[in-house]
Amino acid sequence: MSLQSAKSKLTSEIKKALTEQKNAGAKDGASPQSIVSDYSKTVADAIKAYIESATVVGSATVPPRIGPTPTFGVGNAAGGPEVFSNGKVSFTTNSALKSALDSAQNKSKDEGAKDGASPDSIISTLAKEITEGIHSFATTAMVTIDLPTTPGKPVIGFMMLTSPSPVPPPIPATTMGTVGKGVGNLS
């Protein structure tokens, strides 16, 4: 799924969290800490699900290389571009994101309780702190990909058999189909 496709679900989850926060805060004896914690958990889970729904798209080109092997002579292999398939984004945890959201909400609550508090300033600071939390979280993502190599892709150059004796003439080389694995992160 693309992030664009998942965007409306993220919006509805955040709207739901904010509505629940508002309704919980309207009740007598409401616990601000509990309300903020519930909000932060719901939003952290929604952001994690949103980013993990991304489709990893890209391509790679295998750089040319020359290297002898025990059974083959020298060949200059090059391939690509190949298209990634089965790529995904994942996170080990979203606890740091939840903590960042908790902290941002608690700071804005404390600032709002002060005499002469500026709502615009509070909102601006809250937006910056939430953005920092999301950014820090996103940079902990792990990206995994499968990179298929198309069977029969020509290898530039040739392979030369070094045994048996007498050595036969050089033969053209092609790749065998396989799937490579790759990992990376977001920056």
pLDDT digits (tens, 9 = 90+) for 31-87: 989 999 999 999 999 999 999 988 776 665 554 444 444 444 444 444 455 555 567
Q: Which long-range contacts (CB under 8 A, 24 or more apart) does 131-135 make?
A: 132/100, 133/96, 133/97, 133/99, 133/100, 133/101, 133/103, 133/104, 134/47, 134/97, 134/100
Q: How far is CA 39 from CA 6, 53, 136, 171, 187, in A?
A: 20, 21, 19, 66, 27
Six token digits for residue 101: 């959201």
Residue 132 within any structural domain of the chain = no
Residue range of the domain that includes 86: 57-91+141-187
Question: When comparing pLDDT for 36 and 149, which is higher?
Answer: 36
Q: Is the dihedral of CA 138, 31, 110, 114 positive or negative?
A: positive
Q: How far is CA 129 from CA 92, 98, 136, 160, in A?
A: 22, 12, 10, 62
Residue 46 within any structural domain of the chain = no
**Model confidence, pTM:** 0.66
Residue 111 within any structural domain of the chain = no
Residue 159 within any structural domain of the chain = yes
Q: How far is CA 58 from CA 41, 84, 100, 147, 182, in A?
A: 32, 6, 31, 10, 12
Q: Of 23-32, 55-64, 95-104, 129-138, where does mean pLDDT reach its minimum?
A: 55-64
For residue 69, what pLDDT is reported? 44
Residue 99 within any structural domain of the chain = no
In the chain, which residue ranges form alpha helices assigned H by DSSP? Answer: 3-25, 32-52, 95-112, 119-138
For residue 164, what pLDDT is reported? 59
Residue 146 within any structural domain of the chain = yes
Residue 1 within any structural domain of the chain = no
Number of domains in the chain: 1
Cα 118 to chain centroid distance, Å, stands at 36
Residue 164 within any structural domain of the chain = yes
Q: Residue 180: is its pLDDT beyond 50?
A: yes
Q: Which of 9-23, 78-92, 139-153 has the highest mean pLDDT?
A: 9-23
The average confidence (pLDDT) of the chain is 77
